[in-house]
Amino acid sequence: MSRIITVTSGKGGVGKTNISVNLALYLADEGYRTCLFDADMGLANIDILLGIYPELSLEDVILEKKKISEIIIKNYMGIDIIPGSSGIQRMADPRSEEIYLLVNALSELDNYDFLIIDTSAGISKNVVSFCMASPEIIVVVTTEPTSLTDAYSLLKILSLNGFKGSVMVAVNQCRNMEISGLVFSKFKATVEKYLPLKIQPIGSILIDAHVADAVRKQKPFISLYPNSNAAKGIKNIGRYLMKKDPAEFAGYGLKTFWSKCFKFFTDPLQLTVSKTVNKKQVPDKGIKGKNHTSELKSDKEKEDSHGTEALILPPKEPVVSKEETKKEADLQDIFLILEKFNQGISSISSELSAIRSIMEKGYMNPEHDHKRGQSYTDRS
């Protein structure tokens, strides 16, 4: 029975696909039958990273009635690869007969020890659906504030829709392990304070020039530079996964996974906290929890809206560069935006646009704060 692990991130450019590819190769090198599923409906990043250009993709299974075995790239450096490409978009809007066909076709993949799913970047319904159906997810973040806030927003959507799986966090592109620990500590404290989720550190990958060199050569860095810092980070992540008891996921087969995945593809997702101001209020159909009859927020929603805010400002002291010449004015801008959070945020997209407006002005950088002796995370 396959262990299904979805690798995701709140935003692009954090190294998610590179981690997916190299992790799959390491697991295969350790003797595990491993399949890598390219679930990115946009750019074929796996193809680019490895210099392979598949003739067929999941779209051919849907439209041309090809067998899943016909589209698999077999035994590439020890792993099998399923090119998703535009077929992922087709999966998000399937006809009823296609759902039955795809569930049965994709369930044939149960002869692997690990199925690693590399999602698109960002927070789309496709990404959320793969995560919701998966018993294990790896969320890749960096030390950049926008990476952390976007990852938090993804986890918030998952929690609103009742995610019960295991959440593991990998910190990528960090300068040293101390900064990685500080970033994860802050992220964990914020997530577990405002969301009903527990997250675990799965490992860190340091900034390594070998990674960029491997990308240019279209080869995995774990094979080109097996002793590099990046390769060591991947191996630590792989060892963490191998140590987990397989019995924890017993009874969770691929047919169950794909059935759940298509359910989330086709059903509306809840994107806001349900309001409880008036029992007579009836939410609009479509997206659950959407209600325009009142601007009042429930106590729970007010509490949840503080989550991304906590990633920007610690409880006691704002993280603002001492070199800012307009410090007081900048702080006022931040507090005004945070006040708006408390008064009127009703969706994830609203949170992100406001948070990003702060980040683009460069008010916070955990590595600079660390150099100044200020902690980017709470020491709790």
Tell me what pLDDT residue 88 has.
63
pLDDT at 342: 41
Q: What is the pLDDT of residue 306?
A: 54
Q: Identify the pLDDT of residue 55.
A: 85
| β-bridge mates for residue 140, sequence order | 170
Contact status, residue 105 vs residue 258, Cβ threshold 8 Å: no
pLDDT tens, position by position, 240-252: 999 988 778 777 7
Higher pLDDT, 169 or 262: 169
Residue 173 has pLDDT above 90, yes or no: yes
pLDDT of residue 37: 92
Please, what is the Cα angle at 145 between 141 and 151, to 5 degrees?
Answer: 40
Report the chain's mean pLDDT, rounded to a whole number.
Answer: 77
Question: How far is residue 108's CA from residue 110's CA, in Å, rounded to a whole number?
Answer: 6
Query: What is the mean pLDDT of the segment spanning 335-355?
Result: 47
Rounded CA-CA distance 19/9 in Å is 11
Q: What is the mean pLDDT of residues 274-291?
A: 41
Mean pLDDT of the 321-345 span:
41
pTM: 0.74
Determine the residue type at 359: M
Calculate mean pLDDT across residues 48-57.
85
CA pair distance 236, 188, nearest whole angstrom:
20
pLDDT of residue 102 exceeding 80 = no
User: Which has more pLDDT, 137 or 41?
Assistant: 137
Q: Report yes or no: 369 and 324 within 8 Å, Cβ to Cβ.
A: no
Write the CATH number of the domain with boundaries 3-266. 3.40.50.300
Question: What pLDDT score was predicted for residue 172?
Answer: 97
Contact predicate 88/265, CB 8 Å: no
Task: Look at residue 317 in the predicted model and tell me its pLDDT.
Answer: 33
**Distance (Å, rounded) from C-alpha 66 to C-alpha 93?**
19
Residue 215 CB partners (closer than 8 Å, separation 6+): 18, 49, 221
Residue 318 has pLDDT above 70, yes or no: no
pLDDT(280) > 50:
no
Q: Could you tell me which residue, 97 or 71, shows the higher pLDDT?
A: 71
Q: What is the CA radius of gyration of the chain?
A: 21
**So what's the pLDDT on residue 208?**
97
Can you give the residue ranges of every domain in the chain? 3-266, 305-371
Instruction: Give the position of tokens 């890749």.
Output: 140
Q: What is the mean pLDDT of residues 265-276?
A: 73
Average pLDDT over residues 294-316: 45
